Copies of this chain bind each other. A is one copy, B any other.
Amino acid sequence: MTDDFIRVTYRIECPGSVEAMAAKIASDQSTGTFTELPGETDAVRKRCAARVESVTALPPVDRPGFPTDTPGPYNRGDAVIAYPLEAIGTDIAALMTVTVGGVYAARGLTGVRVMDFDLPDAWSCHPGPQFGIKGSRRLTGVEEGPIIASIIKPSLGLTPEDTAEVVAELCAAGVDFIKDDEKMMNPGYAPLEARVDAIMPVIDAHAQKTGKRVMYAFGISSADPDQMMRGHDHVVKRGGNAAVININSIGPGGMSFLRKRSQLCLHAHRNGWDILTRHPALGMEFRAYQKLWRLMGVDQFQINGIAAKYWEPDESFVKSFHDVMTPIFSEDDRPLPVVCSGQWGGQAVETYNRTGRTLDLMYLGGGGIHGHPMGAAAGVQAIRQAWEAAAEGLSLQDKARQHPELRASLDKWG
C-alpha cells in the first residue's frame, strides 16, 4: 500500500442490496446525517469522504446473523471501503471509531464483519513488537526448534510459595518458558509483587545451576496503567523479562502506554476475543484484529492450537498462525505464535504440517506436562519428542517406539 488511503474490507449481510448498504456505510462513516445540511460542500467531502472501491458478491444465506423480522434470503458480499488517511491519521482509536465502531450500528444490516485492514505506509510509525520471534529466542536461549512452554497449574488458588514450588518443578522438568494463567493478576492470596519475589529466586537459582534462564511471564495486567507499570517495574527490578498481557481487558490505551515504557517481552492473551469472532457473520476476523495489536507491540501471541479445548475449529487456528507470520510492514513486526490450549504433543505433527513446516513458535502444554503419568519432566520430553518427529517426518507412533515418554502420552491422551 503506497497511496494515502486506509482500506477496510467488510463482509456485509442484509436483506436488501449489499452495494447500497456499502454506500450507506461509507456515507455514515464520513459526513452523513439523517437530513440534508448546508455546509456539506464538495471541498468538505473531498477531505474525508469514504468511497466503496469494490463489492464481491457471496452466496446469500437463509438465516440472518442478527435476528430480524425481515424475511430472507439475506444477501452477502465483501465490500472494500477506502478512507482518506487525512481523515483518520495513524491513531488506532481513530481507526476503530471511524471504520469499525459506528458500522456495527447501521440499520438494515443482518450481519457485518471486519475482514481486514490494509494500512498505508504511514502506519509503519507504530512501534510493533520490541522482541518478537528473534527477541524471544535470544531471551530464552532457544536458538532453534520450538520454545517449549508451560503454565502454572492449578491456574488459580496457589500462594506465592506454592507457586514457586511449581516453578521449581517446571524448571527442573526442562521447559524454556513458564507463565501465569491469564486469570492470575494481583489477587489477595497471591499478590503480584509477592509472586515475583517468590518466583524469581527460583529462576535465578536454576540459571546459576544449569546456565539456562527460563523465561517467566508474570500476569501484570491492570485496567490502571499506573498500577500495571508498577508491576512491570517490579518484575524488571527482580530480573524478570516477560509479562502476560490480557489485551482486551486493558484495551488499546493500556497496551500503548505499556509498550512505550516496557522492558519486558509481552505475551498477549486475547481472552474476550471470541465474542468478536465466534459468529462468522459478525464482529471481526482475527486477521484484522491481530494487525492492530501487533502494531501496538505484542511480542508473543496466543492463538490456540489443533484440537484446542475451546470452541475454535482447527482451520481457524491454522489461519491465525499464517496471519501472525505474515509481515505487515516488515519481518520484524511478526510476533512469536503461541500454540496452546489442550496441547500435549499429540498435535505436533499436524501443527507442523499445516502451519508451513516452521519451528518458529512457542508450544505451550499445561495439563499435558503437569498431568503426564511419568511426571512433568517426562511431559516436557514427550513434547520435544513429538516435535522432533514432526521435523523428521516421522509419525508419532513410530517415534514413540524409541521414546517411552511419548509412548505414555499417546497412551493417556492419544
Contact = CB atoms under 8 A, between A and B. Distances in A.
A375 B145 CA distance: 71
Contacts of A185: 89, 91, 93-94, 97
A45 interface: yes
B94 A248 contact: no
Interface stretch (A132-140, A275-283, A355-363, A392-400): A275-283
Contacts of A179: none
A128 interface: no
Interface in A157-172: 157-158, 162, 166
Interface string A133-153: 000000000000000000001
A88 interface: yes
A65 B282 CA distance: 11
A58 to B, nearest CB: 15
Interface stretch (A32-40, A331-339, A382-390): A32-40
Interface string A46-89: 11110000000000000101110000000000000000011111
B106 A310 contact: yes
Contact of A105 (B38, B67, B274): B274
A239 interface: no
A100 B272 contact: yes
Contact of A155 (B31, B249, B311): B31
For A46, A93, A252, A366, the residue with the greatest tally of chain B CB atoms inside 10 Å of its CB is: A93
Nearest to A304: B105
B183 A279 contact: no
Interface in A301-319: 309-312
A16 interface: no
Given A87-B156, A371-B35, A102 B271 contact: yes
> When A and B form their complex, which 7 residue pairs have the shortest distance between CB atoms, in order from nearest?
A251-B251, A253-B254, A101-B271, A44-B157, A101-B272, A92-B223, A104-B274
Interface of A: 29-40, 43-49, 63, 65-67, 85-89, 91-94, 96-98, 100-102, 104-109, 153-158, 162, 166, 182-183, 185-189, 221-228, 246, 248-258, 260, 269, 271-276, 278-280, 282-284, 296, 309-312, 342, 366-368, 370-371, 413
